[in-house]
Amino acid sequence: MDSQIYKAIVNAIPDMIIRISQSGVFRSFEGATAELYWPAEAYLGKHLNDVLPKETADLFARKIEAAFRTNEVQYLEYSLRFDGRRRYYESRMIRSNEDEALAIVRNVTQEKAVAAELRRHHEDLESLVKERTAELSRAETSYRSIFHHSGSPSIIVDHDFTIAMANSKFEELTGYAREEIEGQMKWIDFIAASDRETVTRYHYTRRRTDGQVPSEYECQITDRRGRTLDIFIKVGMLPEPGRAIASLIDITSLKRTEKDLREREALYSAILEGYEGMLYFISNDYRIRFMNENLVRAVGRDAVGELCYEALHNRRSKCPWCVSDQVFEGEAVRFEMRNPNDKKWYFSVNVPIPMADGITYCQAMIRDIDQRKRMEEALRDSEAHLRKENLRLRSTIKQRNKFGDIVGSSEAMQQVYELMLMAASSDANIILYGESGTGKELVASAVHNMSDRREGNFVPVNCGAIPEALLEREFFGHRKGAFTGATEDKQGYLDEADGGTLFLDEIGEIKPDLQVKLLRAIEGGGYTPIGSNEVRKPDFRIIAATSRNLTEMVQKGGMRSDFFYRVHVIPVHLPPLRQRKEDIPLLVEHFLQAYDRKMHPVISGNIKQSLMAYEWPGNVRELQNVLYRFVTLKRLDLTGETVPETIAEPSVAAAPSTEIPDGDLSDAIAAYEKQLIRAALVRCRWNRTQTAKALGIGLRTLQRKMKTLGIH
């Protein structure tokens, strides 16, 4: 049974369900836990003697022992004093498993109070009416004292509805003083509009010789404050012509309780009928006691009263898979089965339902899971193929020196490649951890290009480079006229990344206020551009990057925990260059390939040794810059110190090649364009956003040209 449906059913009933160990330790509370004096957590794990008065604890202990000894339902009544008032409870207790008893507790304080009050007032009314009828016949003075000292609100009403007398209890009930009532007000004026016609008819009919109307009935009255009260009224005629005495009982709380019970029953019924599967109850003789509409439609008729195995499964005997015996012993049973009639798979939840009369029903809730089972079978069939494909891809990664634009064959980078492949095969959000210069944007771009979103845009955003006042505008965009200077509509980063990937570099720089709005957009709630009423819901994937400790930021309040957990799904840690120095020769070769071989000096053994000995605090980006200076200045400069070695000059000056390639004009333009873009990328440390600005073109144009020209 779905946990939400089970919880709704438990909450819909007016009882509290308590699980107690055989030794008397509270294990769980469900249902009407508001009846507890302390929160449920204060009782959990506590012994009866720790939280209950000794007399009550001993009563519970005796009933638990009897439940385990006899396996029969045990009934107990007890009372507890809360906040100076005594509350009364009724409980049914039954053994539910080897070490646990189930107690279903109901607060009957109000019912007992109302019942006692009704009995008392009925007795008072009977006695009062008899006494007053006899005494009032002798003289008004003989019943006046009794009338005014009555324990229930009472009035004497004349033929024209004028209230001749009212006692103090009637004053308390209505809020009017006796001087305002007697001889001044009419009884019919107190009656609610919906009941006036009935009360008027009773009033005049009762005064006829042959008048036959009830002497007891219910109606509603209105007090001085305008409140509507439900009352039970008993009327008797006095010897004086046309005069009657009426005694009232305020049953407003009783009516409210009855209404609450009806509403709870209606809610429980709605839950049962609203259950998307099939649901029925059976008694221990296997006869159906209830069927919801889904089951009635499936069977083709209402089979209440019939044997379940005959009506539901067309069998002549009990079903082989039946678990009702276990359920009637107090056990909840869940299982999957394939129905032999329609060959479909079903999930069945069977639980005991103890009734007020001590009878236990078996409630069965059945849901069609055939489609899910078929999908599971299909997934199992393809599992072997997926395993083989995964092994093949993993084996290819282990042999690679380069992955997209990322260079390295070290063990640390092989682990990164494997995580990248796993991340690319899913659509989950990714967080890249690494020091500055370790190539987080290259990794993000490679994952995007390998994923199913590769046809969409890869939108890099340096969160630390955007002024805080512009963050919301840059992320969500704006509409023309939204603020001074907004001369046209502008898309934000989220719209640009629709269908693709949003790369949030230095995500730790985003303030908590913006994190709330981004979180809503990430979770599918959408966002509204500045100056617009339209809610946008783009589809994008988040790849975040940071060099900071986000866990520490969450603890200190610099990052919201819900935002952190939303982006921190697949973490990938990029090693610093000092931890993978075996990759330096490959990186040097890769970076120098961006230049014509005639432009850069020869890498001598001394230079190689210096490169390998250096710790590279700026990581791969620092290596790239060092090589750029090496090509430009013809010397190796590490942290301001030049390696003392004469370097052979190249045969051609370090300038863009002017060699004209063979082919037509378009080939020549493409070749020169490729050379210009590659040189700009080197100058901008392969930051595509900065490169696009340096070239005076848009980021999308740069990405398109790089893809067309084969620049990696």
420 within 8 A of 443, measured Cβ to Cβ? yes
pLDDT at 528 over 90: no
Q: Band of the pLDDT at 306, cuts 50, 70, 90? A: very high
Alpha-carbon span 180 to 188, nearest angstrom: 15
Are 210 and 181 within 8 A, CB to CB? no
Query: Cα separation of 440 and 431, whole Å?
Result: 10
**Lowest-pLDDT range of 62-76, 356-370, 476-490, 662-676:** 662-676
Share of the chain above pLDDT 90, in %: 23
The rounded distance, in Å, linking the Cα atoms of 425 and 454 is: 12
- Who wins on pLDDT, 390 or 534? 534
Q: Cα 240 from chain centroid?
A: 70
Whole-angstrom CA distances from 84 to 80, 87, 230 are 10, 10, 28
Q: Residue 649 phi/psi, 5° resolution?
A: -75, 145
Q: Is pLDDT at 496 greater than 80 in this prediction?
A: yes
The H-or-E segment that residue 374 falls in is: helix 370-398
Whole-number Å distance between alpha carbons of 304 and 306: 6
CA torsion angle 289 293 297 302 (round to 10): 30
Lowest mean pLDDT among 81-85, 243-247, 311-315, 577-581: 81-85
- pLDDT, position 644: 47
Cα three-residue angle 658-664-669, rounded to 5 degrees: 45
Report pLDDT for 574: 93
d(CA 477, CA 532): 10
Q: Is the pLDDT of residue 287 over 60?
A: yes
In angstroms, the Cα distances linking 553 to 105, 254, 465, 507, 509 are 47, 56, 19, 11, 11
Predicted confidence at residue 378, as pLDDT, reads 73
Mean pLDDT across 130-147: 60
- Domain pair 113-255 / 275-368, same fold: yes
CA gap 48, 101 in Å, rounded: 13
Task: Kindly tell me if the per-residue pLDDT of 478 is higher than 80.
Answer: yes
Q: Give me the sheet containing 458-462, strands edge to edge.
A: 458-462, 501-505, 541-546, 430-433, 570-573
Q: What is the pLDDT of residue 383?
A: 62
- State the Cα–Cα distance between residues 283 and 266, nearest whole angstrom: 22
> Taking 60 as the threshold, does the pLDDT of residue 391 lie above it?
no
- The 10s digit of each residue's pLDDT in 685-696 is 678 888 888 887
- Tokens representing 255 are 């009516």
Which residue shows structure tokens 């638990």? 64
| DSSP of 403-418 | ETTEE--SHHHHHHHH
| Alpha helices per DSSP H over 137-251 | 140-148, 168-174, 178-181, 187-190, 196-206
In angstroms, rounded to a whole number, what is the distance separating the alpha carbons of residues 579 and 633?
A: 28
Residue 544 has pLDDT above 80, yes or no: yes
Q: Look at residue 431 in the predicted model and tell me its pLDDT.
A: 94
Give the pLDDT confidence of 642-685 residue by residue, as tens digits. Answer: 554 434 333 333 334 445 555 566 676 777 788 888 888 877 76
* CATH match for 401-575 among 2.60.120.280, 3.40.50.10490, 3.40.50.300, 1.10.3720.10: 3.40.50.300
CA distances from 196 to 183, 188, 193, 245 (A): 20, 7, 5, 18
Percent of the chain with pLDDT over 70: 86
Q: Which of the four pLDDT bands, split at 50, 70 and 90, describes residue 543?
A: very high
Q: How far is CA 421 from CA 91, 157, 324, 407, 418, in A?
A: 60, 92, 50, 15, 5
Which of 523 and 178 is assigned the larger pLDDT? 178
Q: For 113-255, which CATH class?
A: alpha beta
pLDDT at 501: 93
- Pairing label, strands 85-97, 100-107: antiparallel
Q: What is the pLDDT of residue 273?
A: 61
Q: Could you tell me the pLDDT band of residue 386, with boundaries at 50, 70 and 90? A: low
Spell out the domain ranges in the chain: 3-107, 113-255, 275-368, 401-575, 583-709
Mean per-residue pLDDT, 436-454? 88
Q: Which residues pair with 233 in a beta bridge?
A: 217, 248
> Taking residues 481-497, what's their average pLDDT?
84
State the Cα–Cα distance between residues 157 and 181, nearest whole angstrom.
11
Taking 70 as the threshold, does the pLDDT of residue 320 lie above it?
yes
- CATH superfamily, domain at 3-107: PAS domain (3.30.450.20)
Across the range 193-219, mean pLDDT stands at 88
122-131, 299-308, 497-506, 700-709 — which is least confidently predicted?
122-131
- CA dist 88 and 81 (Å) reads 9
The band of 572, judged by pLDDT with boundaries at 50, 70 and 90, is very high
For residue range 588-633, list pLDDT tens digits in order. 888 888 776 666 677 877 888 888 888 898 898 888 888 888 887 7
CB 649, CB 634: distance < 8 Å = yes
- pLDDT tens digit string along 347-372? 889 999 888 777 889 988 888 888 88
- Work out the end-to-end distance of the chain between its first and last CA atoms, rounded to an integer number of angstroms: 54
- Helix, strand, coil % (nearest 5) of the chain? 45, 20, 35
| Residue 654: predicted pLDDT | 36
The residue with tokens 């646990």 is 100
Q: What is the mean pLDDT of residues 143-150?
A: 66
CATH node for 275-368 = 3.30.450.20
Q: Is the model's pLDDT at 91 over the cut of 60?
A: yes
- Is it the case that residue 200 has pLDDT exceeding 60? yes
